[in-house]
Amino acid sequence: MRVIIKDEAQDVAEWAAGYVAYKINRFRPTAFKPFVLGLPTGSTPLGMYAELIKLYRAGKVSFENVITFNMDEYIGLAPAHPQSYHYFMHENFFNHINIKPDNIHILDGMTKDYAKECANYEKAIAKVGGIHLFIGGVGEDGHIAFNEPFSSLSSRTRVKTLTESTIKANARFFDNDLSQVPTRALTVGVGTIMDAEEVMILVTGYKKADALKHGVEGAISHVWTISELQRHPHGIIVCDKAATEKLENSTIEYFLDIEKSRF
């Protein structure tokens, strides 16, 4: 696992966006050989999306031949709902770049047949040959996508009931009204994420210090689903200093030192 430690959240955003652009450009995608990205929502990746839009506007990256799969979507929120992940992605990213609408994939939280929707999502990922780079954030309790504590580490796309902690954390997007936060979501599984060629998790702020500690130094466990990243051959965590507050000094020194001469 690589752990890239940056001073501030903005540095994380710039590094992550630069890395995504580098991976797309190096791949030289075409209509017949598209680059496939897995994408997150949440406040953490907002800075990265803003930086990617800047890179696109500056002509440094194109999304013409990029296919995307989002991690998750709330059950019961229509795409036009301002707190749906469909809305979030279009508002904060897709409306500002040259991605083709047909290349965007987001789970349908309004579906009547969850099992079918989830199975089709897995099939759609497989049909394009899998995901090259899956980007994620992490919840305070270590969840990736909506794979809450005690989710199977080999889980696939499915329905998840959200924990009290996640509902409370996300209430800030719903006028702090807990009753408005959906209690269930469709989400890719831990296994779906780990199937990607590369997985990059963004972690910023003191609130994520426990999740980072368990993800990097803890045992691999379904209690902190981020910890499964330890088994991925190409796992990258990009974090700010605030998030490293609970890491051992020796861990921080190791990763700062080993990253000095890399991208």
Q: Any contact of residue 190 with ligand GLP (CB under 6 A)?
A: no
Among the listed residues 51, 148, 228, 240, the single catalytic one is 148
Contact between 42 and ligand GLP (CB under 6 A)? Answer: yes
Site membership for ligand GLP, residue 13 (CB under 6 A): no
Residue burial 70-82, b: 16+ Cβ < 10 Å; e: rest:
bbbbbbebeeebe
Catalytic, 141? Answer yes
Single out the residue of 65, 103, 166, 225 in contact with ligand GLP (rule: CB under 6 A).
166
Residue 29 or 185: the one with the smaller Cβ distance to ligand GLP is 185
The reply to whether 148 belongs to the active site is yes
Closest CA to 66 of 18, 33, 114, 107: 33
Q: Is 37 in the site for ligand GLP (CB under 6 A)?
A: no
Task: Kindly state the tokens that stand for 146.
Answer: 């909506």
Return the amino acid letter for 80: A
What amino acid is encoded at 138 in this protein?
V
What is the distance of C-alpha 7 from the center of its chain? Answer: 21
* Residue owning tokens 């305070």: 140
**H runs (alpha helix) in 147-203:** 164-170, 190-194
72 catalytic residue (yes or no): yes
The binder of ligand GLP chosen from 29, 34, 40, 189 (CB under 6 A): 40
Task: Report the SS3 class of residue 94.
Answer: helix
Whether 143 is catalytic is: yes
Active site residues: 72, 141, 143, 148
Site for ligand GLP, rule CB under 6 A: 40-44, 71-72, 137-139, 145-146, 166
